[in-house]
């Protein structure tokens, strides 16, 4: 398999140049179908912030996915590509008035919130919207903590649901996010327990809830030898807890982003310069942290760097092409000795890479994206 990929990389570099971001449609579909097999009672809403490339979105539309959007621009993108308004959740708990108006006009009436002022905005500009209260939950062991900025304290949930109802909105359920690349299943378990208690208390006061949004955070492998919990094992725990803690008629949804897009991406770069500094090889690549390695900064991600070269490995530094010293990809990689033109590639980099790249900083463009 490795030999086949590397042979393909050589052909593509010869034909297209580099850097290149390869996105596999088959891998996108496989991840979607894997999610459905392991969590058959959970409806996925792809979080397009992970990678909003139109062909990726169209692939998931063809699979029947819903979509998690954070802005009117994201919403309009998925609508323009053929997504149905009733398959979109506006899952940013802080929305501008203009974006709420745009959602109302587009008939996107499913939203999250985590504070009282947001409810007043939604009630005024998207009356009758169906809303989920997002609560703060543990993010222990997750690569990116998402409860630092979002989520109401759970003891405020009932008050906020009552307020939503009093404003003419439709309080439908609870939302949470355990943090991105979560390898601690206890985050989910605890979040289920808290959410179940909120469902029970809401029912007592005449607000029956029907939807639980379990967010995203499902882990993928970035390294060949990663030994953290697998999605398959995590899903077993989640299915058991959902069955035990919630009524049969509760609808579960999720917002996978990295899990869907990450494994589909392979980034191909080339060495454009080399030197020997600080007693090790320095290799300068034609892509860096301002480009498709932006996930190192914004996603706190670590990647496995592979070379087409063989031979003895040496401690090496990888840097990007810009004139900013911040553009250092890694200070300690074991790599064979390379020359200008040699290829360095990274698998499982389809999420939070090209999506958060800075276009044309210092005149360097992000990688050309090829759907394969």
Q: Which positions are catalytic? A: 323
- For residue 171, list its beta bridge partners: 131
Structure tokens at 30: 């496989």
């Amino acid at each position: 398999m490795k030999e086949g990929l590397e042979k393909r990389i050589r052909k593509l570099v010869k034909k297209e140049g580099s850097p290149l971001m390869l996105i596999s449609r088959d891998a996108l579909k496989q991840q979607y179908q894997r999610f459905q097999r392991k969590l058959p009672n959970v409806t996925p809403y792809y979080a397009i912030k992970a990678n909003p490339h139109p062909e990726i979105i169209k692939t998931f539309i063809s699979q029947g996915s819903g979509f998690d959007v954070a802005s009117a621009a994201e919403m309009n993108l998925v609508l323009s590509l053929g997504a149905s308004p009733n398959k979109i959740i506006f899952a940013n708990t802080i929305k501008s008035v203009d974006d709420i108006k745009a959602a109302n006009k587009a008939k996107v009436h499913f939203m999250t919130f985590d504070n009282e002022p947001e409810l007043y905005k939604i009630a005024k500009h998207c009356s009758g919207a169906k809303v989920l209260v997002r609560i703060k939950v543990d993010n222990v062991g997750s690569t990116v903590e998402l409860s630092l900025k979002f989520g109401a304290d759970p003891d405020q949930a009932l008050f906020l649901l009552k307020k939503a109802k009093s404003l003419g909105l439709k309080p439908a359920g609870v939302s949470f996010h355990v943090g991105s690349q979560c390898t601690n299943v206890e985050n989910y378990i605890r979040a289920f327990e808290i959410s179940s208690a909120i469902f029970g208390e809401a029912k007592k006061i005449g607000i029956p809830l029907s939807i639980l949004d379990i967010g995203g955070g499902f882990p993928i492998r970035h390294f060949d030898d990663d030994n953290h919990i697998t999605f398959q094992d995590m899903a077993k725990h989640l299915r058991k807890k959902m069955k035990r803690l919630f009524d049969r008629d509760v609808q579960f949804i999720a917002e996978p982003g990295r899990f869907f897009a990450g494994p589909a991406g392979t980034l191909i770069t080339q060495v454009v310069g080399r030197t020997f500094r600080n007693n090790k090889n320095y290799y300068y690549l034609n892509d860096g942290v301002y480009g498709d390695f932006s996930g190192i900064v914004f996603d706190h991600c670590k990647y496995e760097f592979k070379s087409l070269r063989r031979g003895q490995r040496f401690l090496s530094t990888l840097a990007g092409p810009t004139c900013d010293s911040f553009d250092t990809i890694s200070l300690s990689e074991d790599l064979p000795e390379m020359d200008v033109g040699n290829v360095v590639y990274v698998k499982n980099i389809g999420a939070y890479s090209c999506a958060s790249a800075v276009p044309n900083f210092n005149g360097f463009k992000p990688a050309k994206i090829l759907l394969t």
